[in-house]
Amino acid sequence: NSRGSKSTLSISMGLSLPTPITDKKNEEGNNDQLKYSVSSMQGWRNNMEDDHAVCLSFSEEHPDWSYFSVFDGHAGAAASLYCASFLLDKIRAKFSEISQ
């Protein structure tokens, strides 16, 4: 920068569409103890960046425990997709390890 000039920094969290995609993806489920529903919408992003995971029975040892998670993608879906796919297994493994 030269003296006296102004610098503007613009950070984008991802590419935007000219109009939002407002179609909603809905999911619901239940077991003997609870009901759940999830709704997601892509919005202004070029691609859906968010994800979620639901497990109504945590493990054989703890069938009455449930797991719900929402992952907010930022500038892409890689991290949210990875977490939705693998975090529960990692939590189960760690829980099993410390429970012994």
pLDDT of residue 4: 52
Inside any domain, residue 4:
no
Task: Give CA–CA dist 43/23, Å, rounded.
Answer: 8
Inside any domain, residue 73:
yes
**What spatial distance separates the first Cα and last Cα of the chain, rounded to whole Å?**
60
Inside any domain, residue 12:
no
Instruction: Walk along the chain (100 residues) in steps of 10 and give the mean pLDDT of each run.
Output: 46 76 98 96 95 96 96 92 98 92
Q: How many domains, the chain?
A: 1
- Residue 95: count of CB within 10 angstroms of its CB: 14
- Residue 80: count of CB within 10 angstroms of its CB: 21
pLDDT of residue 75: 82
Inside any domain, residue 8:
no
Inside any domain, residue 6:
no
**Residues paired with 39 in a beta bridge:** 26
Does the pTM surpass 0.85? The reply is: no
Domain with 90 in it: 17-99
Inside any domain, residue 60:
yes
For residues 56 and 29, the answer to whether their CB atoms sit within 8 Å is yes
